[in-house]
Amino acid sequence: MAAEDVVAKKYASGILVGIIIIYLAKKYGKQYLINLYRLVYAWILNRFGNRYSKLMKKFKEELLSDIGNIVKTEPLEILEIGAGGGQNFKFFPRGSHVTCVDPNPFFDEYLKKNLDIFPHVKLNKFIVAPAEDMSQVPDESIDIVVCTLVLCSVDNQAKVFSEILRILKKGGKFYYLEHVAAARNTWIRKLQDFLSGIWWFISDGCTLNQEPWIILEKSGFSKNDHKQFYSPIKMKLLAPHFMGCSTK
């Protein structure tokens, strides 16, 4: 069996186990089942994140290489929302101090592994919280916010953008790379709209048909510079992407 098929098979079995656990967790509402669900998803998303990062290397480099051009005294304070297993550490410049925010506590061990692999990055703190509530992060304390593949899963994008504006220093930058809704009236978009409910259920709250640029443009950043494009991801539902940088 080809290596890709083995990974796909493992991913599919992981999803199946995840579905059963979500079903049991929702039916019985027990904390240990919810934790088991989060544990399984941390494992799945970490594997998916590694593969995604490889596929999207060119785009991540294009987006995040700009961080190294920011002239300032070290350390550079980066906050990553939905950091997952720390797949983006390799793209951060030397001397970065990173605060990771993620509601899933089970990414902790994957973050630590990636810190060993990329020692040029220092972890300030792993905050277990949703990006809608980053009250543990002081106002105007962060130079850069990074967010990849997260906006599809947050409950309230407007709240996330207002939190980002609160914690960024004046002139601070927000970098994002997200899978998004396809153009309206295309067959991919119709399929995304149709499958969005079930997708949310099986993919840890991820939605397929978000148009984050609409809320972003109204959020109060002084400059928004972004583009939409089709990524090389084979699964057409996840291929439409959006990336860019907004400045406070």
Ligand X SMILES: C[S@@+](CC[C@H](N)C(=O)[O-])C[C@H]1O[C@@H](n2cnc3c(N)ncnc32)[C@H](O)[C@@H]1O
| Nearest approach, Cβ of residue 29 and ligand X (Å) | 19
Report yes or no: 229 and 239 within 8 Å, Cβ to Cβ. no
CB of 77 or CB of 102, closer to ligand X: 102
CB of 72 or CB of 113, closer to ligand X: 113
CB of 207 or CB of 246, closer to ligand X: 207
Residue 138 identity (one-letter amino acid)? P
| Nearest approach, Cβ of residue 241 and ligand X (Å) | 12
| Nearest approach, Cβ of residue 151 and ligand X (Å) | 9
CB of 84 or CB of 212, closer to ligand X: 84
Other CB atoms within a 10 A radius of the CB of residue 80 amount to: 26
| Nearest approach, Cβ of residue 74 and ligand X (Å) | 24
Binding site for ligand X (CB under 6 A): 45, 49, 52, 81-84, 87, 101-104, 107, 130-132, 148-150, 153-154
Closest CA to 243 of 54, 42, 65: 65
Q: How far is CA 88 from CA 71, 82, 236, in A?
A: 21, 11, 24
